[in-house]
């Protein structure tokens, strides 16, 4: 008896790695060489290409394709029909299989529905990409990206709430958790309650 669930309509190519308690729902395709961590949820019609790496506790909603070169760290959320790429200048007549770019989505980041992520960039920890955005450049930790093209519009807490303007001491307080954040240098945000080098709790 396996430790994970795969719907009978899905196709899993071997060799691939799927962690315990992961659920893969209808009409998914996991290609050989893909690595999927523990406690993940893949919705309907998700494709995971060769050599894609998915961490633990990742949620991928319907109609998402993860092409070779994409890496999702732990606790990432991919909204419905968000789009990843792996070649910056594709041509049907020219093979670019040796030119795939790496796209890294760091721990805890959220990518909204129908957002498009160009290849070769890094989305920082706990960043939040709004629905329908076009992301063309690296995103800092906790960054809130909105619009087309996507631009930095503010900061999000680890709990997924927009941080208010800083007080006279430069502190931003999450309206949900009460955790404190501070911009220690331009576009570098730190959470004062939970430093980056401290292991995260099982739940926030």
Residue 38's domain is classified under what CATH number?
2.160.10.10
Query: Looking at the domain assignment, is residue 94 inside a domain?
Result: no
How many distinct structural domains can be found in the chain?
1
SS3 153: strand
Q: What are residue 169's DSSP bridge partners?
A: none
Query: Looking at the domain assignment, is residue 182 inside a domain?
Result: no
Query: Looking at the domain assignment, is residue 29 inside a domain?
Result: yes
Query: Looking at the domain assignment, is residue 202 inside a domain?
Result: no
| Mean pLDDT value across residues 103-125 | 97
Query: Looking at the domain assignment, is residue 187 inside a domain?
Result: no
Residue pLDDT, tens place only, 2-55: 699 999 999 999 999 999 999 999 999 999 999 999 999 999 999 999 999 999
Q: What is the DSSP letter of 94?
A: B
Query: Looking at the domain assignment, is residue 139 inside a domain?
Result: yes
Query: Looking at the domain assignment, is residue 189 inside a domain?
Result: no
Residue pLDDT, tens place only, 130-179: 999 999 999 999 999 999 999 999 999 999 999 999 999 999 999 999 99
**What phi, psi does 45 have (nearest 5°)?**
65, 45
Query: Looking at the domain assignment, is residue 49 inside a domain?
Result: yes
Q: What CA–CA distance (Å, rounded) separates 172 from 156?
A: 10
Q: What is the reported pTM?
A: 0.93
Q: Is the pLDDT of residue 1 over 50?
A: no
| Mean pLDDT value across residues 113-123 | 97
Query: By residue range, what is the domain housing residue 80?
Result: 5-88+100-164
- 10-43: buried (b, 16+ CB within 10 Å) or exposed (e) per residue? bebeeebebbeebebbebbbbbebbbbbbbbbbb
């Amino acid at each position: 008896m396996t430790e994970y669930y795969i719907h009978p309509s899905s196709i899993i190519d071997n060799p691939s790695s799927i962690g315990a308690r992961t659920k893969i729902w209808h009409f998914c395709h996991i290609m050989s060489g893909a690595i999927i961590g523990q406690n993940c949820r893949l919705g309907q019609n998700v494709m995971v290409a060769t050599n894609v790496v998915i961490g633990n506790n990742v949620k991928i909603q319907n109609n998402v394709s993860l092409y070779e070169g994409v890496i999702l760290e732990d606790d990432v959320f991919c909204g419905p029909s968000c789009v990843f790429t792996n070649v910056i200048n594709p041509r049907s007549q020219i093979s670019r299989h040796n030119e795939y770019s790496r796209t890294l989505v760091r721990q805890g980041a959220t990518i909204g529905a129908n957002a498009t992520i160009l290849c070769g960039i890094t989305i920082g920890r706990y960043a939040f990409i709004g629905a329908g955005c076009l992301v063309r450049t690296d995103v800092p930790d906790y960054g809130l990206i909105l619009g087309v093209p996507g631009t930095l519009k503010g900061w999000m807490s680890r709990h997924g709430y927009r941080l208010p303007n800083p007080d006279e001491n430069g502190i931003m307080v999450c309206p949900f958790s009460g955790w404190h954040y501070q911009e220690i240098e331009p576009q570098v945000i730190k959470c004062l309650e939970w430093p980056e080098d401290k292991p995260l709790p099982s739940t926030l």
